[in-house]
Amino acid sequence: SFERGTRMDYGDRRQVFISGTASIDNKGNILYPGNIRKQTERMWENVEALLNEAECGFEDVGHMIVYLRDTADYAVVNQMFEERFPGVPKVIVHAPVCRPGWLIEMECMATKAVINPEFENL
């Protein structure tokens, strides 16, 4: 078993850790083989769904690590991330991502303020 996302609440804040997530469907099938743009967009959808489960969104993400199978995709992926997430720190790394059909994979961490009724009157 592999947890793709973990949420931790610490009194006044929530941290969400999203581990390596790629362009897959709910059965683990690779989507959009060979298409870096479509794989990136689907990967974002999957990450966003995980963030939403933790009551967070991309606006709560503090940094991203992006893994690329082929450095030839760097310019396209960097531009896509800059357009969608301007100002969010990211590192794009050349790496042998998990599955042969994956062109891209990402992880990130989000932090969000939360109101914990247990600590309201302290």
| pLDDT score at 6 | 84
Q: For residue 12, list its beta bridge partners.
A: none
* Distance separating alpha carbons of residues 5 and 93, to the nearest angstrom: 21
Supply the pTM of this predicted model. Answer: 0.89
Q: Fold for domain 5-114?
A: 60s Ribosomal Protein L30; Chain: A; (3.30.1330)
| pLDDT score at 95 | 94
| pLDDT score at 35 | 97
What one-character-per-residue DSSP string does 65-90 give?
Answer: EEEES-GGGHHHHHHHHHHHSTT--E
Question: Per-block average pLDDT, block size 10, for the chain (122 residues)?
Answer: 75 90 90 96 96 94 96 97 96 91 95 72 48
Q: Are 65 and 107 in contact (CB under 8 A)?
A: yes
Q: For residue 17, give the DSSP letter.
A: E
| pLDDT score at 118 | 60
- With the C-alpha atoms ordered 31, 36, 37, 41, is the resulting torsion angle positive or negative? positive
Residue boundaries of the structural domains of the chain = 5-114
| pLDDT score at 64 | 97
